[in-house]
Amino acid sequence: MSWSSGKDSAFALHEARQRGEADIIGLLTTTTEVHNRVAMHGVRNDLLEKQAAALGLPLLKVPLPAPCSNAEYEARMAAACAGLKSQGVDHIIFGDLYLEDVRAYRVQRLSAIGMTAQFPLWKRDTKILAQEMIASGLVAYITCLDPRRLARSFAGRRFDAHFLSDLPGDVDPCGENGEFHTVVTAGPMFRAAIPVSVGETIEREGFVFTDVAAIEATSG
C-alpha cells in the first residue's frame, strides 16, 4: 500500500480490504531525511509508525533528500519497488481519485519493473466520497495546505462535515488537486484510535504546515 498517512490512502486500504481484492502485506511511505517527516504531508515519523502499528502492517520508509530532484525520487522509489518485487509483491495500491496524468505515471513506472498499480477509489465522486469517509468513523486533520488555493485558517482543522461545508466551491472536497493534505488518526482501517494533539502552524517553502503529534500514554 502506497501510504501517505492521509485519508485517501487510508480509505483506499480499507476499501481494498473490504473487497478482498488483494492481500495487503505492508506500507510504503516516502519521508524527508532532513525533517524526519512524511513527504508533503509533514507528518512526524513517530505518528507514521503508530499508524502502521494500528493497521497491523510493517512499514517501509523511502527517505528522500530535501530538496529532491525528480530523478533522485524516481531512483529511490524504483529501488524500493524492485526490492518489494524480489520478495514476491506484484501490486501497489494507491489512493488516487481522478488525476489521469498521475495514474498514468504510476502505472508506467511500476510496469517497467513488472508490477501493477491498483486504484480502489478511482473516479469516485469526491463530494460523496468525503462524506462516506467521515460517516465511516474516519478521523483526520489538515496537516498541510497550499495557501494559494485554500486559506491558512483551514490548517489544523479536523476533516469533518463542518470543514466540508466551509470549503470554497472551487476546492475539491478531498483536496485531490493539492489544496490540502491530511493525517488519519482513527477509522475502520485501524485497530484503535491514535490520540493526538494539534500544535503550531508554520509556513515553509510556500506551504502551510500544522504539527499534529501523537500523545504518549502515561502510566499510573
Predicted pLDDT of residue 218: 55
Q: Would residue 166 count as lying in a domain?
A: yes
Question: What is the edge-to-edge ordering of all strands in the sheet holding 59-64?
Answer: 37-38, 27-32, 59-64
Q: Would residue 220 count as lying in a domain?
A: no
Predicted pLDDT of residue 168: 97
List the domain range (segments joined by +) for residue 171: 7-214
Q: Would residue 181 count as lying in a domain?
A: yes
pTM value?
0.94
Predicted pLDDT of residue 219: 47
Number of compact structural domains in the chain: 1
Q: Would residue 219 count as lying in a domain?
A: no
Which stretches in the chain have pLDDT values below 50?
A: 219-220
Nearest to 182 by CA among 205, 154, 161: 154
CB 43 within 8 A of CB 183: yes
What b/e readout covers 137-162, taking b as 16+ CB neighbours within 10 angstroms? ebbbbbbbbbeeebeeebbbbebeee
